[in-house]
């Protein structure tokens, strides 16, 4: 049996190799070394979610009808019988109530979309805070930012398709945002929607965009993203034996591949569990879209929430002059703000390189604490984003906590400008403290738990030098490497190694503590 399989496999391999000469490439690929770290699996979650999206989405296209043609409902869901609705909404009801497993697939698809975006965002944070975007990986950073934006567009198109009350409201807002563009606004919105809202064409147009155009581009970009990771080799954290010029990890085949493959099924399992057990987007409760209706507490999917928040916080500035109306109250929060945010995000690697003058190759990742300014900027941005996200739910907060929505809005408006800079300062300070803690560990070693009493009556706790495999992890700067080199020789005074803080950033209690004088200690004990 085994020999038969072997014979078959080798026969097939020979057949392919005779024609493609693929062995050389396959050999190198199987022997490829991939560094191991839990945070490297975040991007994998995004990739696997996308695969689940393709699978579940393809199944849904077999039943969905992307059409705004009006029909009178006569399906299985009795509460809506006789109600006029679009064919899109009717087919979504059919998927939910008449296709066996259809609701399950719909819910998996929706959950996978939420997870896809979440994984992208968390992966982005990992790449940002560890400096993985630095030379030579700026291109992959740009592709990643492109994927983030396309993911938002794809998600918005997807949840607009069922044409229920909630998604129709979202589309009307999108139309109104397009309308606000100076000079071109009416043209853009009329051409996209096919006329004055609702225009009658948007579902028909969003459908191919959602199932073909955008996923096709995303698939191509993901492929390119992975090819670049493969070709440039993955970054790694500092550690024993790890340098800028090598990769330390496990070979792709077989253990790593088995783990990654297993991880795909586990991610898929999480989505299956959510799709089966956690109801999402119950469109039959919202009802079909009716331009004169809206439900209170309307919320978009989470990844659009920050734009909803910025729109809610914006003061009502409008300019009416020279025969035209200009609407900063719409333009700034929905177009200028995301343009600036995503623009800065995309350009960040180049901005940082310009400001630091760092043009070197970087294959070793930073520890966030070693780059207080970058980490501070990252936390500042996250804080800014979170305030917008919270603002997107200001009505929910108001009703849950019985607060005035006006006061919440005013508070968040102020917080948007005050809290992020504070978050920057606090993070920077924290990073410097953590650096000092590292230096302290390198200087003094680890507390041993052994208390010794000195002849003077003083109690001191003995420390043991940090085990070398851990001190290596802390050796992230040339100064620290030097410190480690001197740590066990005891013959010279190591130089100060943490960033030299000024003002507020000065460590509490003065300067970095000098290392304990072991020799003097021993003399006293003797």
**Which residue of 92, 394, 435, 476 would you call a contact of other proteins, by CB under 8 A?**
394
- Judged by CB under 8 A, the chain residues 473 through 492 that form the site for other proteins are 478, 481-482, 485
CB 172 within 8 A of CB 197: yes
DSSP symbol at 489: T
Query: Which one, 43 or 376, has the nearer CB to other proteins?
Result: 43
Establish if 294 lies at the interface with other proteins (CB under 8 A).
yes
Residues in region 251-290 near other proteins by CB under 8 A:
251, 254-256, 258-259, 261-266, 268-270, 272-277, 290
Angle made by CA atoms 344, 359, 368, in degrees to the nearest 5? 60
Query: 349, 195, 263: which is closest to 49 by C-alpha?
Result: 263
Burial state string for 256-291 with b = 16 or more CB within 10 A and e = fewer than 16: beeeeeeeeeebbebbbebbeeeeebebbebbbbee
Q: Which positions from 317 through 376 interact with other proteins, judged by CB under 8 A?
A: 317-318, 320-321, 323-327, 329-330, 333, 361, 363
Single out the residue of 13, 76, 344, 511 in contact with other proteins (rule: CB under 8 A).
76
Interface map 429-448 toward other proteins (x if CB under 8 A): -----------------xx-
Left, alpha or beta for 107 (phi > 0: left; psi -120 to 50: alpha)? Answer: alpha
Angle at the Cα of 247 from the Cα atoms of 245 and 252, rounded to 5 degrees = 150
- Among 250, 335, 433, 477, contact with other proteins (rule: CB under 8 A): 250
Helices (H), 314-404: 328-331, 337-356, 372-391, 394-401
Whole-number minimum distance, CB 147 to other proteins, in Å?
A: 23
Residue number with CB closer to other proteins (41 or 373): 41
Residue 112 as a binder of other proteins (CB under 8 A): the answer is no
Residue 169 touching other proteins (CB under 8 A): yes
Binding mask 118-157 for other proteins (x = CB under 8 A): ------------------x---------------------
Q: Strand pairing partners for 497? A: none
Determine which residue in the list 29, 223, 450, 469 makes contact with other proteins, applying CB under 8 A. 469
Residues 6 or more apart in contact with residue 523 via CB below 8 angstroms:
none
Residue 224 binds to other proteins (criterion: CB under 8 A): no
Residue 314 binding other proteins, by CB under 8 A: yes
- The smaller minimum CB distance to other proteins, of residues 2 and 296, is found at 296
The rounded distance, in Å, linking the Cα atoms of 34 and 365 is 14
CA-to-CA distance for 385 and 128, rounded, in angstroms? 15
Instruction: Give Cα separations from 94 to 65, 160, 194 (angstroms).
Output: 10, 17, 27
State whether residue 366 is helix, strand or coil: coil
Out of 57, 131, 155, 185, point to the residue binding other proteins (CB under 8 A).
185
What is the residue whose two structure tokens read 């991880």?
263
Under the binding rule (CB under 8 A), the answer on residue 467 touching other proteins is: yes
- Among the listed ranges 70-78, 210-218, 377-385, 495-503, the one in contact with other proteins (CB under 8 A) is 70-78
Is residue 381 a contact residue for other proteins (CB under 8 A)? no
């Amino acid at each position: 049996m085994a020999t038969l399989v072997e014979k078959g496999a080798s026969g097939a391999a020979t057949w392919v190799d005779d024609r493609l000469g693929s062995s050389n490439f396959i050999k190198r690929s199987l022997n490829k070394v991939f560094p191991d770290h839990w945070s490297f699996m975040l991007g994998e979650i995004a990739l696997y979610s996308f695969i689940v999206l393709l699978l579940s989405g393809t199944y849904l296209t077999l039943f969905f009808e992307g059409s705004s043609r009006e029909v009178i409902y006569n399906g299985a869901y009795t509460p809506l019988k006789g109600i006029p609705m679009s064919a899109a909404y009717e087919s979504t009801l059919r998927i939910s109530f008449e296709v066996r497993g259809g609701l399950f697939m719909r819910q998996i698809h929706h959950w996978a979309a939420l997870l896809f975006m979440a994984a992208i965002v968390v992966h982005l944070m990992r790449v940002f805070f560890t400096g993985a975007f630095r030379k030579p990986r700026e291109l992959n950073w740009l592709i990643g930012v492109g994927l983030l934006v396309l993911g938002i567009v794809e998600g918005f198109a997807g949840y607009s398709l069922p044409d229920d009350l909630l998604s129709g409201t979202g589309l009307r807002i999108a139309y109104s945002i397009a309308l606000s563009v100076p000079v071109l606004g009416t043209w853009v919105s009329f051409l996209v929607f096919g006329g004055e809202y609702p225009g009658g064409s948007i579902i028909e147009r969003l459908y191919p965009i959602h199932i073909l155009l955008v996923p096709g581009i995303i698939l191509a970009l993901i492929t390119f993203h992975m090819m670049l990771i493969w070709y440039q080799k993955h970054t790694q954290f500092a550690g024993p034996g790890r340098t800028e010029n090598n990769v330390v990890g496990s070979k792709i085949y077989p253990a790593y591949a088995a783990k990654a493959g297993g991880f795909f099924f586990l991610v898929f399992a999480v989505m299956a569990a959510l799709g089966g057990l956690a109801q999402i987007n119950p469109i039959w409760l919202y009802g079909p879209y009716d331009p004169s209706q809206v439900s209170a507490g309307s919320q978009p999917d989470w990844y659009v929430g920050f734009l909803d928040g910025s729109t809610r916080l914006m003061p009502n500035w409008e300019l009416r002059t020279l025969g035209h109306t200009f609407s900063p109250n719409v333009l700034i929060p929905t177009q200028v703000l995301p343009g600036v945010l995503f623009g800065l995000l995309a350009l960040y690697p180049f901005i940082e390189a310009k400001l630091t003058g760092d043009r070197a190759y970087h294959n070793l990742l930073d520890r966030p604490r070693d780059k207080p300014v970058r980490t501070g900027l990252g936390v500042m941005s996250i804080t800014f984003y979170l305030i917008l996200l919270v603002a997107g739910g200001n009505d929910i907060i108001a009703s849950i906590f019985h607060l005035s929505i006006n006061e919440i809005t005013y508070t968040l408006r102020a917080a948007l400008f005050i809290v992020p800079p504070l978050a920057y300062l606090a993070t920077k300070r924290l990073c410097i403290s953590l650096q000092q803690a590292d230096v302290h560990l390198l200087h003094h070693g680890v507390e041993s738990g052994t208390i010794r009493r000195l002849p003077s009556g003083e109690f001191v706790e003995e420390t043991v030098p940090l085990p070398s495999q851990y001190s290596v992890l802390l050796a992230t700067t040339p100064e620290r490497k030097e410190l480690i080199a001197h740590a066990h020789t005891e013959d010279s005074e190591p130089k100060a190694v943490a960033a030299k803080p000024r003002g507020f950033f000065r460590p509490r209690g003065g300067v970095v503590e000098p290392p304990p004088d072991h020799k003097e200690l021993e003399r006293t004990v003797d």
